[in-house]
Amino acid sequence: MTTRIFIVDDHYMVIEGIRSLLQNEKGIEWLGHAMNAGSCMAFLQQELPDVILMDINLPDKSGIDLCAEVKKKYPGVFIIGLSTFNQLSFIQRMMDNGASGYLLKNATQEEILTGISTVMKGKLYLSAEAATSLQQSRQDIPVLTRREKEVLELIASGMTNNEIAAKLFVSVATVDTHRKNLLAKFDARNIAMLIKTAVQLQLI
């Protein structure tokens, strides 16, 4: 039984690397690649792979969103996230959206094959070396409400509470409350610390 693989990554070198690593493997059929979310969705209408290797960063849409979209439309497809070591925090969100695991971009041929066969059995594949820091980061990512995200971005853009209140047509007190809640959720002492964390987690 062969496993049909499709890859979505905007870096040609990575696509070529994986293709090269998998090309002589028995039981693996290479269906092709897409370099953005749009052409990925287009391809899936034609042909359905067993496993999709999906990068976190895509030009037109984040892999996190694309993952949710694909799983909603094609629940049977297994998705493996591709990430670099310093992107581990995003993988968690991808797995919350239905991904079955992730591979680091410095994975060896063996790890890739193990990952593919693991998720094909319906299990999760978590790279051992990274699983621990993932556990940690999982708790560290605050869950923000729609309004909080909005306020956070405006704060980061340099606006004061007054200006934000005017822009959102709410009172300053409301903005202040959101600000306070943001500080609490990020466990930050002040805005400087808040913004630093938020940018590093790419929430902004």
Ramachandran region, residue 36 (left: φ > 0; alpha: ψ -120 to 50; beta: rest)? beta
Maximum CA pair distance of the chain? 64
Site string for DNA, 102-131 (x = CB under 7 A): ------------------------------
Q: What sign does the dihedral 88-65-96-9 (CA atoms) show?
A: negative
Nearer to DNA, 118 or 181 (CB): 181
State the minimum distance, in angstroms, from the CB of residue 80 to a second copy.
13
Site for a second copy in 161-180 (CB under 8 A): none
- For the record, the structure tokens of 203 come out as 């929430």
Quick one: what does residue 11 bind among DNA, a second copy, none, with the CB cut-off 5 to 8 Å set by partner type?
a second copy
**Site residue total, DNA (CB under 7 A):** 25
- For the record, the structure tokens of 4 come out as 């049909």
Contacting a second copy (CB under 8 A), which of 2, 132, 135, 157? 157
Contacting DNA (CB under 7 A), which of 20, 132, 135, 162? 162
Contacting DNA (CB under 7 A), which of 106, 180, 187, 199? 180
Query: Which residues make Cβ contacts (< 8 Å) with residue 5, sequence separation at least 6?
Result: 22, 28, 29, 30, 31, 49, 50, 51, 52, 53, 116
* Backbone φ and ψ of 28, nearest 5°: -120, 125
Site string for DNA, 43-72 (x = CB under 7 A): ------------------------------
Quick one: what does residue 145 bind among a second copy, DNA, none, with the CB cut-off 5 to 8 Å set by partner type?
DNA
Q: Would you tell me how many other CB atoms lie within 10 Å of the CB of residue 171?
A: 11
Contacting DNA (CB under 7 A), which of 168, 197, 201, 202? 168
Q: Does 167 bind DNA (CB under 7 A)?
A: no
Query: Which residues make Cβ contacts (< 8 Å) with residue 81, sequence separation at least 6?
Result: 54, 55, 56, 63, 67, 91, 94, 95, 99, 101, 102, 103
- Alpha-carbon distance 91 to 43, whole Å? 24
Q: Does 157 bind DNA (CB under 7 A)?
A: no
- Interface with a second copy (CB under 8 A): 10-21, 35, 57, 59, 84-86, 105-108, 155-160, 188-193, 195-196, 199-200, 204
